[in-house]
Amino acid sequence: MKLLDLPVESIHEALLYLPLKGIHACLLTCGVLYELINNSTEIAYNIELELAGVDENPCSPALSGLSVSDKLELLRERERRWLSLAPAEHRVPRCVVPIPGPTGAELYDLLDGGMLVTDWNPDLPPSPIQYLPIPPAPGPDNWKTLFSGKSVIEFATDGHDLLVVYTSTPIAGMRLQIEAHFLHFPAGRPHPDAAVPTIQLFTAVHHFDISHEVVDSTVVLLCGHDEFSELQIYDWVSGCPIIEPVRFPLDTELAGLLDQHTIVLVVPHSMELRVVPLPQDSTPCAVPLDESAFVSFSLPRLRSGWAADPSSFKSVGESGFRSRRSPPSRPRDPATPAGNPPFLIRDATALMVIAYDVAVNDRDYLADYYSEVEVQLLLVIRRNSLLEAFIEARTDHRHSVPWHLWGLRSARYLEGLDIGIRGVAGQRLASIPPDSQNSPAQISILDFNPGTYKMLRRACATSAAARPSKLTSTRTLGDLSWDDKGCRFLLGTDRDASQVNLQLVCAMRGLLQLPAPISILATIFAEPSVALSSELAYLKIISAQNYAFARVHLMNSTVAGVLENDEGDVSAADFLYLG
């Protein structure tokens, strides 16, 4: 039977399951499918969810009782607000939250709809982990204690209902017992899904660095000891280790999880990323990590005279943006738009960002080429693209992939000092000038979403004569006015109002002469045209308003800035809900 012989309702139902490429192919097939797709609100909604890189949150009260048309309009409002950095204060009022206590907080986590803080001082009793929902309820004391009694080293959330707390407890022989506690968030009680609410990890002589991440039921922990780093991975639901502990060279850092079953490590001494799959056997016993399954992805070589600082490598991101799907019978509390946003970032298309410093170790070279000793690099990686490259390498039985075979399609270098301190969520990277230090400055969002970039690129092509342009292809961005002084779009119809500044930064392929904005990067790499070539284009969004933030963070629905006191501890947080 031919497709067009089916009832229209059946054809429409089938179209709802097609990816964007399939929808585009059907548009070009015949007039019947063209009209069916163009006139379907359901298909338009699915297309715009994919273009925005989000999924509908079934537990969000904001979507309760809404028709597909209403959901589509809510999604379009969200995209307009992220594009203009205009907070939706009619939905969630902007609020500035002071940190409890006179000294501020050393450890904190900003979430959709809440904030977690604690302090750490070896000379004082252990400080509790406290939680405040955003916006806070009326009253003098809204902070709730979720954990107390032990010294907190670190904590992390999974973006839903899990809080993992790492603690140290003094034991005999001047040693410390390191433990992981799995709590229900925001209740603060042992998590009902955790068979073993507290796991004893290991003992140590003193405090050390911890890199950690939580995705679904997998908890990954990389601990930096005096002479080595130790990788431990647990299934927090069963309480069982997934692998036997693995020791690596001391400078090895955890970049994160590509998905629940694949981890990526940064190895500075060999300038590479190492990706390895986790065992997926259902046995409750830990198994050795199959190091023969490692695939190494090399980083580009530096020019003679430059060297990377092994101790500077670190991952950049937020711990709470990977939101697990929760069953409708267990919605997260509190049920506010901020705490349960209508749309959740898709983890598969999210960015992974690695920061590291490179320095000139040849004074003669320094005098000839560059006026600064140290430059911070940001390596932006599209997670699903690196995962695809890993799968291809394993299929081809390759254990090493040179930069030119994976970097072009999966990664892009940025200069960190120019970007400033930043946050990452989904396909967006947030920054504020590094020298602002609580002084008012503009926020910048680098949006690597290819759908948004392509729409603005088309608008730029049709607006070359400085004519007003309206993006009718998706109708999510509203009216855009083109500024003929440069590649700059102005949002809205009121030309006198303060406007956001949008700049397109195109992909770079096989460049022989690099443009001036990246000339500093061109002096760092041995083969700059190879190292800096990238298929990752992005949109730079510069806020019209100035914000007095020391650092800026991103979540599913919120931009949040933190303010610091004179000692460098967090003194307050400012939440801007965008949807």
Q: Residue 183: give its domain's CATH number.
A: 2.130.10
Residue 177: name the closest of 201, 148, 147, 209 by CA: 201
Three-class secondary structure of residue 291 per DSSP: helix
CA dihedral (5, 7, 12, 18) positive or negative:
negative
More confident residue, 395 or 470: 395
- Establish if 453 belongs to a structural domain: no
Burial (Cβ within 10 Å: 0-12, 13-18, ≥19) of residue 494: exposed
More confident residue, 326 or 357: 357
- Establish if 212 belongs to a structural domain: yes
Angle at 576 between CA 571 and CA 579, to 5 degrees: 145
Q: What is the pLDDT of residues 4-24, one digit of tens each?
A: 777 888 888 888 888 888 888
pLDDT for 217 equals 87
Tokens describing residue 392: 């291809």
In terms of residues, how long is the chain? 579
- Establish if 479 belongs to a structural domain: no
Distance in angstroms (rounded) separating the CA atoms of residues 372 and 553 = 28
Range of the domain at 311: 95-448+543-577
pLDDT for 470 equals 32
- 199's enclosing H/E stretch is strand 198-204
- Establish if 59 belongs to a structural domain: no
Q: Does residue 481 carry a pLDDT above 50?
A: no
| DSSP classification of residue 534 | B
pLDDT for 495 equals 40
Mean pLDDT of the region 229-234: 90
Mean pLDDT of the region 391-419: 88
Distance in angstroms (rounded) separating the CA atoms of residues 510 and 529 = 6
- Establish if 357 belongs to a structural domain: yes
Lowest mean pLDDT among 48-52, 480-484, 529-533, 539-543: 480-484
Half-sphere exposure of 170 (CA within 13 A, CB side): 5
Mean pLDDT of the region 443-472: 67
- Establish if 482 belongs to a structural domain: no
> Domains in the chain: how many in total?
1
- 571's enclosing H/E stretch is strand 570-577
pLDDT for 390 equals 96
More confident residue, 123 or 126: 126
Q: Does residue 301 carry a pLDDT above 70?
A: yes
Read off the pTM: 0.86
* Dihedral in degrees, nearest 10, Cα atoms 37, 43, 47, 50: -150
Mean pLDDT of the region 142-155: 90
Q: Does residue 472 carry a pLDDT above 50?
A: no
- Establish if 407 belongs to a structural domain: yes
* Average of per-residue pLDDT values in the chain: 80
Which strands form 558-564's sheet, in the order they lie side by side?
A: 95-98, 570-577, 558-564, 551-554
Confidence of residue 392 (pLDDT cuts 50, 70, 90): very high
- Establish if 52 belongs to a structural domain: no
pLDDT for 499 equals 61
Q: What is the DSSP string of 60-96?
A: -GGGTT--HHHHHHHHHHHHHHHHHT---TTTS--EE
Mean pLDDT of the region 425-449: 84
pLDDT for 373 equals 67
Mean pLDDT of the region 554-561: 88
Q: What is the pLDDT of residues 54-78, one digit of tens each?
A: 999 888 888 988 999 999 999 999 9
Tokens describing residue 156: 């992390």
More confident residue, 241 or 502: 241
Place of tokens 């017992």: 177
Q: What is the DSSP string of 407-456?
A: HHHHEEEEEHHHH-EEEEETTEEEEE-TT-TTS-EEEEEEE--HHHHHHH
Lowest mean pLDDT among 16-20, 89-93, 137-141, 411-415: 137-141
Q: Does residue 330 carry a pLDDT above 70?
A: no
Distance in angstroms (rounded) separating the CA atoms of residues 3 and 246 = 54
